[in-house]
Amino acid sequence: MPRGFHSHRKNPDEPWTWEQVLDAAKKINDPANGVFGIDPAQGFGSAGGTAYFKYPIVWQFGGEIMSPDGKTSKGYLDSAQTKKAIQFFSDLYNKDQVSAMEYPPDPFPNGKLGITIDGSWSLANLKEKFPDFKLGVDYDIAPLPKESAQAVANGSWALGISSKSQHSDEAWKFINFVTGHDGQKMYCEMTKDIPSRYSAAKDFPELNEYPKNVFVVQNQKFGRPRPITPIFPQMSDAVNKMFEDVTISKRNIDAAVSDAITTIDQAYADLEKQQKK
């Protein structure tokens, strides 16, 4: 986040609105000198990664991606709220021009980007690679912006047991341990990830104070999983393409959204056909 963030903005319960963020981004923006206001969702890289950063914008505007049962996007992706979110996102690039399609390497610590939206994992990376770019001096951390609601994406690596496993009992014992309090504590001491159990998070002093508490509290109160659906890869690709079509190709929102819904619904229909065979 930009220099000079007010201290109370570090409170996970008091985020800026997207309008306040846009206002700040405009003040920082200086494209003539290669400086941009904000990267709202980690650019346009791999579909899974960058779609992950785009879901919260939809949720923050009160929109949805899919039906709760993960079968369709009709009535969700084409809602007025979802379209408002996509329009706002596209405007950052095209109308307000505070975001760039491409940035030089590491634009945030190198002073070419005022506001970046990233995960807790980026803190260790910044500390290691840019020791002169100091938290609390050169940059601060604030909760994700809100529009009609607060929302953050959660979800990391997952553990599963194959239906063909020859050792399902042992696998279950292992997963039960790793996801329990002691296992989470041991795992997160090694990985520096945020535990999936609140009880384990309480045992890490650094997770209960600024800046890590911003990530922990947001996840506890406003965390949402990505859409739970058997056609997750197809849905993720379709959502990413929709954002790209509207933002990069300046395509009509209604048309882009309609195509995404058709792609997602067709993928689900294809899956059902395969399962009936």
Given this model, what pLDDT does residue 44 score? 84
pLDDT digits (tens, 9 = 90+) for 20-33: 999 999 999 999 99
* 152 strand-pairing partners: 223
Which residues of the chain does CATH 3.40.190.10 include?
7-154+231-276
Average pLDDT on 1-12 reads: 56
Given this model, what pLDDT does residue 116 score? 95
* 36 strand-pairing partners: 113
pLDDT digits (tens, 9 = 90+) for 131-168: 999 999 999 999 999 999 999 998 777 899 999 999 99
Angle among Cα 112, 83, 51 to the nearest 5 degrees reads: 50
CATH architecture of 7-154+231-276: 3-Layer(aba) Sandwich (3.40)
The model scores a pTM over 0.85: yes
Residue 267 has pLDDT above 70, yes or no: yes
Q: Which of 60, 44, 69 is nearest to 227 (CA)?
A: 69
